[in-house]
Amino acid sequence: MKSKRMNSVVLTACMFVLALNLATAQEKTVMVGGAQMYPSKNIIENAVNSKDHTTLVAAVKAAGLVETLQGKGPFTVFAPTNMAFDALPAGTVETLLKPENKAMLSDVLTYHVVAGKLDSQELMKRIKAGNGKAELTTVAGGKLWAAMEGNTLKIWDEKNNAAKITVKDVYQSNGVIEVIDKVLMAK
């Protein structure tokens, strides 16, 4: 009797693992920073695995925004890479990460977030409706503009700096990440 029960438990466990692996295998993942980004995981659960976004993740933690970006959303995050942060003037990141600058850091980061799920198709739809330019309002209350430059989808900030979307449509359970090559800045 114990043998049958044990076989039943082992068989059930194997079926569970197989079902879990099949569900994971069926997800359409995108590679970002050497890691697969799973649509069933939230923004934070995926971002922490990207070696290209360690500065962004550290900043999100320092600003106290982890819980927010794990929330229901949906959010669109224009996610600067480590190289984008490295291109800022020397000492900028270090200054922003200081505890006394938490509010300023939060403002910078939430300027990269738009409420809603704006994948490249939705951005293109808005660009077309806006006769070549789409205005977006960030969670911080600032403005960003999306437009095409040649075949490249770009995002402009309030200082007229343009960031290129380098990896588009990284779907999350609570939104979408658009990887960008520059840090966006409000006025």
Give the integer Cα–Cα distance in Å for 42 and 90: 32
Q: Which residue has the higher pLDDT, 21 or 133?
A: 133
User: CB within 8 A of 88, min separation 6: which ones?
Assistant: 183
Q: How confident is the model at residue 27 (pLDDT cuts 50, 70, 90)?
A: confident
Q: How confident is the model at residue 25 (pLDDT cuts 50, 70, 90)?
A: very low
Q: Is the pLDDT of residue 150 over 70?
A: yes
Model pLDDT, residue 24 = 45
User: CB within 8 A of 26, min separation 6: which ones?
Assistant: none
Mean pLDDT, the chain, whole residue set: 88
Model pLDDT, residue 74 = 96
Model pLDDT, residue 1 = 54
Q: How confident is the model at residue 7 (pLDDT cuts 50, 70, 90)?
A: low
Q: How confident is the model at residue 3 (pLDDT cuts 50, 70, 90)?
A: low
- Report the percent of the chain where pLDDT is more than 90: 74
| CB 148 within 8 Å of CB 141 | no
Q: pTM score, two decimals?
A: 0.84
- Indicate the CATH number of 29-180 among 3.40.50.300, 3.90.1170.50, 2.30.180.10, 3.20.20.80: 2.30.180.10
Q: Is the pLDDT of residue 171 over 70?
A: yes
One-letter amino acid at 68 equals T
